[in-house]
Amino acid sequence: MSQATLFANTPVKATSIIGTNVANPEGDSLGTIKDIVMEPGTFRVAYVVVSFGGFFRLSGKLFAMPFGLFKYDARKTEYILDLPKGQLEAAPGFDPEHWPSMASADWHREVHDYYGSQPWWD
């Protein structure tokens, strides 16, 4: 096992994830991870909250995205998000001053349905 693989699978502090760059597979910077949302019963990461900055027309919004969508590139110390441009442009986001209700089962289901990801509770 290479050192990069070992590092990529080693537990990390949440504070080392927050602020990490998010890029697409081509290496273009998309934004940064702004926060982490945990599921209190299992302490699993439910979502990472991403700010896409000036990318496309997404500026000023935050996006809760299932953490399983991201791959970690240990060499570049950044997370890779491999989603089509159109899917990112149409992604459900929210105002940083008005977060969605994390208690809403409908909201959680909509997020996971949009990204086609397995919910953490299943």
pLDDT tens track for 6-16: 445 677 788 88
Q: Is 122 among the domain residues?
A: no
Query: Cα(2)–Cα(103) distance, rounded to whole angstroms?
Result: 41
Q: In 10-119, where do the E strands start and end?
A: 21-23, 29-38, 45-51, 62-65, 70-73, 78-81
Distances 80 to 1, 77, 107, 110 between C-alpha atoms, Å:
21, 10, 25, 23
Q: Is 121 among the domain residues?
A: no
Q: pTM of the prediction?
A: 0.83
Q: Is 7 among the domain residues?
A: yes
What is the pLDDT of the chain when averaged over all its residues? 84
Q: Is 94 among the domain residues?
A: yes
Query: Which residue from 49, 68, 69 is spatially nearest to 58, judged by alpha carbons?
Result: 49
Using 50, 70 and 90 to split pLDDT, how confident is the model at 39? confident
Q: Is 52 among the domain residues?
A: yes
Q: Is 60 among the domain residues?
A: yes
CATH code of the domain in which 59 resides:
2.30.30.240
Q: What is the total count of domains within the chain?
A: 1
Q: Is 77 among the domain residues?
A: yes
12 or 2, greater pLDDT = 12
Q: Range of 49's domain?
A: 3-114
pLDDT digits (tens, 9 = 90+) for 83-117: 988 888 889 999 899 999 988 889 989 999 999 98
Q: Is 73 helix (H, G, I), strand (E, B) or coil?
A: strand
**For residue 87, how far is the Cα from the chain centroid?**
14
